[in-house]
Amino acid sequence: MNAAAILARGGSLLPRLAINPDLARQMIVGFIRDAIHKAGSTRAVIGLERRD
Amino acid sequence: MSGGIDSALVAYLSAEALGAAQVKALRMPYRTSNPDSLSDAQQVIDALGIATETVEITEMAEPLFKRYPEMNAQRRGNIMARLRMIVLYDQSVEFGGLVVGTSNKTEMLLGYSTIYGDSAAALQPIADLYKYQIRQLSLAMGVPRSILDKPPSADLWEGQTDEGELGFTYDQVDQLLYLLVDERYRPEECIEAGFDAAFVQRVWRQVRLNHYKRTMPNIPKLSARTLGHDFLYLRDWTG
């Protein structure tokens, strides 16, 4: 069913956005490790309040 | 975000990727910051066992706020975001770690961030996930319920929420952005599909006008090999 038909029935497109959490987790964990190691580091710094 | 879901999720993912001992979390409150933000952040720190430090930014920000007493909330918010960036990048050197960003796809597309402030990072691991997907992954990773259920807020003033400030909900805008960006719908096709015309135009304008925040600064081409035009090596280029 296309987006217009879903919306015309009062439905939501959010189910289409659903991800496979296990796969996403595996991909992002690998990405972080790879990106940090390629820059010659093994560590990360994260801001827990960035905008307030 | 303020002890919010995005930074919590990035902390969980980074601890899994690198080991808890390799991750440091910085809490950088301003004097008016909601105390709940600090306690939510503490839950993440305790759950993961990562290193932490609290660096108040109040004394750094106040001289500039006093210099410009007419400063509005946007200017003040930008200054606070950039002061936090300075603290984070200083800690990056001290701890020997890269700054890991916490921006998601929804806010990056909308430009709902401070350039060289909260958007400044060496990598952006969750920037291909819409807010809806951030919630889904956070739930799967065991991010504390109090953080999952908290209305997203930049904590700019008491009672401020992202959705109140933006004028729409993340669920609404995620569906529209999905069609515009992932499904390559044109704005008029989104309107035909049933989205409110004013909402579509406003969101699409925001996406277009904020594109500069998502790219490296433009460089006019003057030489045979111009950075970003002809000199196009990947960032992990080793040759």
Q: How far apart are CA B41 and CA B147, in angstroms?
A: 9
Q: Residue A30: closest CA among chain B residues belongs to which residue?
A: B17
pLDDT(B1) > 60: no
A27 touches chain B (CB under 8 A): no
Task: Specify the pLDDT at position B110.
Answer: 96
From the list A15, A46, A17, the residue with the least C-alpha distance to B101 is A46
Task: Specify the pLDDT at position B41.
Answer: 84
List CB contacts (< 8 A) between A16 and chain B: 178
Question: What residues have CB less than 8 Å from B168, skipping those under 6 apart?
Answer: B199, B203
Span B130-144, mean pLDDT?
96
For A13, the closest of B13, B80, B178 (CB atoms) is B178
pLDDT(B155) > 70: no
Work out the percent of chain A whose per-residue pLDDT is above 90: 69
A-facing residues of B in 200-229 (CB < 8 A) are none
Task: Specify the pLDDT at position B3.
Answer: 53
Of residues B137 and B2, more confidence is placed in B137
- pLDDT band for position B151 (50/70/90)? confident
B81 touches chain A (CB under 8 A): yes
Q: Do B174 and A14 touch (CB under 8 A)?
A: yes
For B192, the closest of A4, A29, A36 (CB atoms) is A4
- pLDDT band for position B159 (50/70/90)? low
Task: Specify the pLDDT at position B2.
Answer: 45
For B137, the closest of A12, A21, A52 (CB atoms) is A21
From the list A39, A36, A47, A21, the residue with the least C-alpha distance to B41 is A47
B31-35, B93-97, B110-114: which is most confident? B93-97
Measured in whole angstroms, the distance separating CA B209 from the mean position of its chain's CA atoms is 17
CA distance B25 to chain A (A): 5
- pLDDT band for position B154 (50/70/90)? low
- pLDDT band for position B233 (50/70/90)? confident
CA distance A9 to chain B (A): 10
pLDDT digits (tens, 9 = 90+) for A1-52: 788 888 888 889 999 999 999 999 999 999 999 999 999 999 999 998 654 4
Q: Do B125 and A44 touch (CB under 8 A)?
A: no
CB pairs under 8 A between A and B: 195
Bridge-based pairing state of the strands B97-99 and B23-27: unpaired
As to burial, measured by CB atoms within 10 angstroms (0-12 exposed, 13-18 middle, 19+ buried), residue A21 is middle
DSSP H helical segments within A1-52, as ranges?
A: 3-8, 14-17, 21-38
pLDDT digits (tens, 9 = 90+) for B46-77: 999 999 999 999 999 999 999 999 999 999 99
pLDDT digits (tens, 9 = 90+) for B194-230: 999 999 999 999 999 999 999 989 999 999 999 989 9
